[in-house]
Amino acid sequence: MEPLVDSYGRRIKSLRISITDKCNFRCTYCMPAEGLPWLKKAEILSYEEIVRIARVAAGIGIEQIRLTGGEPLVRRDIPELVYQLRQIEGLRSLSLTTNGILLKQLAGPLAQAGLTRINVSLDSLIREKFAQIARRDQLLRVLEGLEELEKYPSIHPIKVNAVAVKGFSEEEVLDFVRLARRKAYVMRWIEFMPLDADQIWRKEDILTGAELKAIIEAEYGSLVAITTGDRSETARRYTFSDGIGEVGFINPVSEPFCASCDRIRLTADGQLRTCLFATEETDLRAVVRSDAPDEELAQTIRQAVWNKELKHYIGDKRFKRANRSMSMIGG
């Protein structure tokens, strides 16, 4: 079988599937306070349609799937979807990104359904600050969700992701490090990107991975790089000199990793996006809702991948904002 490659020679292995555009948070860097006009039910891919696209994509070279949203756990019966996706031959990893608020109920069923990894987004450990950024006073429920997750070793290590925003995140960096070392969570920070619906992003708001690392090293001494040789890994990973704990920095703005990007994304309404910042999409929903055979679906995916964008151009005159915000794309 021909590998799934783009015209720049990048081999595409990872598919992120957004299963809903709805979210129960309103993070300031993502969604407006009042929410967004939600997709209608008929516009959203059914589980059957998602599984078919995933199966066809796995058949031509996709090895990893990550479910996201919106908030994926608000979609009904998500363990059933996880179970069905796990039956697909050729998939090495099936993970999920969540804000964690529903994990108390769902961690067990998700582990049982065969989820292999999970990322929990958490931007502050201070209740007021959490409520300010998520626009929901739900820190305690997220922490409870994380605790629940600890009971299921099949989905460890637990990764905690925080968006780093200048003037907001610095004061808690060391608290997150202490939590991660104590709990064996992998703690990662991701640079704020211009994908917020309110368009509040300014270059000055970026707190870079290098700045975060310097804050940690001032307290703990030099961090020790962890190298796995996997070029498509987005995070720069480090441990501490005593070997306890792991932190990572995802630096799409200050150190773009487009050259080794192996990802494509499917939106909840079935549009294939070959870059977070894509301005064009490929309508897979139209293909699955026609009588087209799997071969045609596979060919449509191959063609879209072939046309994958070279890079995102943030910080360059050529940069154009994407036509969707992060919650509508699926981070």
Does position 262 bind ligand SAM by CB under 6 A? no
> Minimum distance from CB of 209 to ligand SAM (Å)?
13
The amino acid occupying position 236 is: R
Does position 20 bind ligand SAM by CB under 6 A? no
Does position 124 bind ligand SAM by CB under 6 A? no
Q: Which two tokens stand for residue 140?
A: 């305690």
Please identify, among the stretches 92-100, 223-231, 290-298, 307-315, the one whose residues bind ligand SAM according to the rule CB under 6 A.
Answer: 92-100
- Contact by Cβ (8 Å): 169, 162: yes
Total of residues contacting ligand SAM (CB under 6 A): 20
Query: Nearest to ligand SAM by Cβ — which residue?
Result: 331
Buried b (16+ CB within 10 A) or exposed e, 43-61: ebbebeebbbbbbbbbbbb
> Minimum distance from CB of 101 to ligand SAM (Å)?
9
Please identify, among the stretches 9-17, 51-59, 93-101, 152-160, the one whose residues bind ligand SAM according to the rule CB under 6 A.
Answer: 93-101
Does position 190 bind ligand SAM by CB under 6 A? yes
Site string for ligand SAM, 152-181 (x = CB under 6 A): ---------x-x------------------
127 vs 202 by CB, closer to ligand SAM = 202
Residues near 190 by beta carbon (within 8 Å), at least 6 away in sequence: 161, 162, 163, 164, 250, 252
Does position 251 bind ligand SAM by CB under 6 A? no
Does position 258 bind ligand SAM by CB under 6 A? no
Rounded to an integer, what distance in angstroms lies between the CA atom of residue 97 and that of residue 119? 5
59 vs 252 by CB, closer to ligand SAM = 252
> Minimum distance from CB of 229 to ligand SAM (Å)?
26
Does position 14 bind ligand SAM by CB under 6 A? no
Rounded to an integer, what distance in angstroms lies between the CA atom of residue 158 and that of residue 120? 8
Task: Restricting to residues 307-326, name those near ligand SAM by CB under 6 A.
Answer: 326
Does position 99 bind ligand SAM by CB under 6 A? yes
Does position 234 bind ligand SAM by CB under 6 A? no
> Minimum distance from CB of 69 to ligand SAM (Å)?
5
- Contact by Cβ (8 Å): 276, 265: yes
Does position 23 bind ligand SAM by CB under 6 A? yes
122 vs 305 by CB, closer to ligand SAM = 122
Binding residues for ligand SAM (CB under 6 A): 23, 29-30, 68-69, 71, 97-99, 121, 161, 163, 190, 192-193, 195-196, 326-327, 331
